[in-house]
């Protein structure tokens, strides 16, 4: 994305924050074991404001009267370190490539921040992140408080992510383009995997087909750990062991999406291991698909996630009654929450830089944030019918089905961004057999 996009976001944040200093650091390297580390990925909020991808960096925004100042602290260039871990941008190049007012080496952070905080009483930071920089900030603020001659120091701490996450709720066209790119790759991955899936394959082998496509097509990685759940394993919602064999006559639920340009995709498809749905599987699948299509059709600006949740619960309960999975009056079953046993999760969630984008669902009054153009959310109804549940007809036991797409709210209604990924019985069977 063009550098000006990040500058505009910083300007916007400076506009909505109160007078004070905001400090946001990126993620730190995480140890995998002993001296090996996980691949680094910047924190989403930090990346959103900077476009800067290196670790060990901090962004500071200052607002005082009419004055505004933005500062980036980066790891300085150390040739001996670069030999092992690769080239760094360094202070000078960062100053040139990024439009911050000032750029410094991270080693001068403490000295610089002390000078800035002397002028301010409000300090914004990520209150819920345990990054060591925040311990450092609190120590600095405390020391200032007890230092004679220092008349002003931060006494009010505020959560900066409340503001950044509000900003992240509406996606720009550039952001939506990155999600579209992610979905092009995710579509290839699902379609490729459907053609390779066969009886006797291990779940992790099918997972490898997804990861192979993600990497081959230039995705950064998966956006979350891929779920490959054969048969009854689909009834464990976050099944990621992926270590069982895929069996004849069973379905496999695959929840897999890649991350591209740091933007997520999140897609679930449920398909027959041998390529052909049984009559029973088809009946259940088509009922859930019908619900998913109706929910997507109902999405429009001014609507709300709560409404969609209630609508999906009503439709799935009606469907379960018609198939004999639940018995009784739909209204009564809904009141008793009988459906929750088989549809225990939400209809969807915000998606963006994070698969579960941490944008607010309601405002400070507790009122729901209504849908508006540019929001992106998943729509993922599912039913989970455990193999040992004697209350449901035997033919449905051991089946778990979820169908998940990623949807953009538009001016008039919505656009299903993952429309191209095979979803009907006919489309899936045709790809599985090709
Ligand atoms: N892939 C996680 C989810 O669907 O929420
Ligand atoms: Mn999801
Ligand atoms: Mn998912």
| Annotated catalytic residue within 181, 209, 357, 404 | 404
- Residue 119 scores a pLDDT above 90: no
Sequence-separated (6 or more) residues with CB below 8 Å from residue 134: 125, 126, 127
> Cα(255) to centroid of ligand 1, in Å?
7
What is the distance between the alpha carbons of residues 375 and 168, in angstroms, rounded to a whole number? 9
- What is the pLDDT confidence band of residue 135, given thresholds at 50, 70 and 90? confident
CATH topology of domain 173-432: Creatine Amidinohydrolase (3.90.230)
Cβ neighbour number for residue 69 with a 10 Å cutoff: 15
Residue 313: per-residue pLDDT = 98
- Residue 145 scores a pLDDT above 90: no
Q: Whose CA is nearest to atom 3 of ligand 1?
A: 266
- Residue 131 scores a pLDDT above 80: no
pLDDT in tens, 329-385: 999 999 999 999 999 999 999 999 999 999 999 999 999 999 999 999 999 999 999
Residue 88: per-residue pLDDT = 96
Kindly list the distances between the CA atom of residue 155 and the CA atoms of 117, 120, 221, 380, in Å, as whole numbers in the listed order. Answer: 10, 9, 41, 44
Average pLDDT over residues 141-145: 88
> Cα(257) to centroid of ligand 1, in Å?
9
Domain boundaries, the chain: 3-167, 173-432
Residue 411: per-residue pLDDT = 97
- What is the pLDDT confidence band of residue 2, given thresholds at 50, 70 and 90? confident
Sequence-separated (6 or more) residues with CB below 8 Å from residue 58: 23, 24, 25, 26, 72, 73, 106, 109, 133
Residue 132: per-residue pLDDT = 79
DSSP string, 178-238: HHHHHHHHHHHHHHHHHHH--TT-BHHHHHHHHHHHHHHTT-SEESSPPEEEEGGGGGSTT
Average pLDDT over residues 115-142: 87
Residue 292: per-residue pLDDT = 98
Residue 10: per-residue pLDDT = 98
pLDDT in tens, 271-326: 999 999 999 999 999 999 999 999 999 999 999 999 999 999 999 999 999 999 99
Please report which residue ranges of 40-159 form alpha helices under DSSP H.
44-50, 79-85, 90-97, 109-117, 132-145
- Residue 367 annotated among the catalytic residues of the structure: no
Atom of ligand 1 nearest to the CA of 404: 4
Average pLDDT over residues 248-263: 98
Residue 1: per-residue pLDDT = 81
Sequence length of the chain is 434
Cβ neighbour number for residue 61 with a 10 Å cutoff: 23
Q: Mutation test of ligand 1: which of 347, 377, 378 has the most ligand atoms closer than 8 Å to its C-beta?
A: 378
Give me 237's structure tokens.
């919602």
Q: What is the largest CA-CA distance in the chain?
A: 81
Residue 333: per-residue pLDDT = 98
Q: What percent of the chain has pLDDT over 70?
A: 100
Average pLDDT, the chain: 96
pLDDT in tens, 146-176: 888 888 888 899 999 999 999 999 999 999 9
Q: What percent of the chain has pLDDT over 90?
A: 91
The neighbourhood of ligand 2, an ion, using CB within 5 A, equals: 266, 378
> Cα(334) to centroid of ligand 3, in Å?
25
| Annotated catalytic residue within 356, 368, 389, 427 | 356
Return the SS3 of 415: strand
3-state secondary structure 80-98: HHHHHHCCCCHHHHHHHHC
The CATH number of 3-167, from 1.10.150.120, 3.40.350.10, 3.40.50.300, 3.30.70.270, is 3.40.350.10
Return the SS3 of 134: helix
Atom of ligand 1 nearest to the CA of 378: 4
| Annotated catalytic residue within 10, 190, 269, 349 | 349
With a threshold of 0.75, does the pTM exceed it?
Answer: yes
Binding-site residues, ligand 1, Cβ < 6 A:
224, 255, 266, 349, 355, 380, 404
| Annotated catalytic residue within 239, 259, 402, 429 | 402
């Amino acid at each position: 994305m063009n550098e000006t996009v990040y500058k505009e976001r910083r300007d916007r944040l400076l506009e909505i924050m109160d007078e004070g200093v905001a400090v946001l650091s990126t993620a730190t390297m995480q140890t995998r074991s002993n001296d090996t580390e996980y691949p680094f990925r910047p924190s989403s909020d930090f990346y959103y404001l900077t476009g800067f991808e290196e670790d060990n960096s901090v962004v500071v925004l200052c607002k005082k009267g009419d004055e505004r100042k933005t500062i980036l602290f980066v790891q300085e260039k150390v040739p001996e370190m670069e030999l092992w871990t690769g080239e760094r941008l360094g202070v000078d190049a960062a100053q040139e490539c990024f439009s911050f007012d000032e750029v410094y080496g991270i080693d001068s952070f403490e000295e610089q921040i002390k000078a800035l905080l002397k002028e301010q009483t409000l300090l914004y930071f990520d209150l819920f992140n345990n990054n060591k920089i925040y311990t450092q900030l609190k120590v600095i603020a405390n020391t200032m408080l007890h230092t004679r001659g220092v008349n002003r120091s931060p006494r009010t701490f505020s959560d900066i992510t409340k503001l950044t996450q509000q900003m992240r709720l509406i996606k720009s066209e550039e952001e939506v383009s990155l999600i579209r790119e992610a979905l092009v790759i995710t579509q290839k991955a699902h379609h490729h995997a459907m053609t390779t899936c066969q009886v006797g394959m291990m779940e992790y082998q099918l997972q490898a087909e997804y990861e192979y496509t993600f990497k081959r097509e230039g995705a950064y990685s998966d956006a979350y750990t891929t779920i490959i759940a054969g048969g009854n394993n689909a009834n464990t919602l976050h099944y990621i062991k992926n270590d069982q064999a895929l069996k004849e006559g069973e379905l496999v639920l695959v929840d897999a999406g890649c991350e591209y340009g740091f933007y997520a995709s999140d897609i679930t498809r449920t398909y027959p291991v041998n390529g052909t749905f049984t009559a029973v599987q088809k009946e259940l699948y088509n009922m859930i698909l019908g619900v998913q299509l109706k929910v997507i059709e109902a999405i429009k600006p001014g609507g709300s996630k709560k409404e969609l949740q209630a609508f999906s619960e009503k439709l799935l309960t009606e469907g379960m009654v018609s198939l004999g999975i639940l018995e009784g009056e739909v209204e009564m079953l809904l009141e008793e929450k009988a459906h929750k046993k088989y549809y225990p999760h939400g209809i969807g969630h915000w998606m963006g830089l994070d698969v579960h984008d941490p944008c607010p669902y309601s405002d400070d009054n507790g009122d729901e944030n209504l849908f508006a153009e540019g929001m992106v959310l998943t729509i993922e109804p599912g039913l989970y019918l455990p193999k040992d549940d004697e209350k449901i007809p035997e033919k449905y036991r051991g089946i778990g089905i979820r169908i998940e797409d990623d949807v953009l709210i538009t001016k008039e209604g919505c656009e299903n961004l993952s429309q191209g990924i095979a979803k009907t019985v006919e489309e899936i069977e045709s790809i599985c057999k090709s």
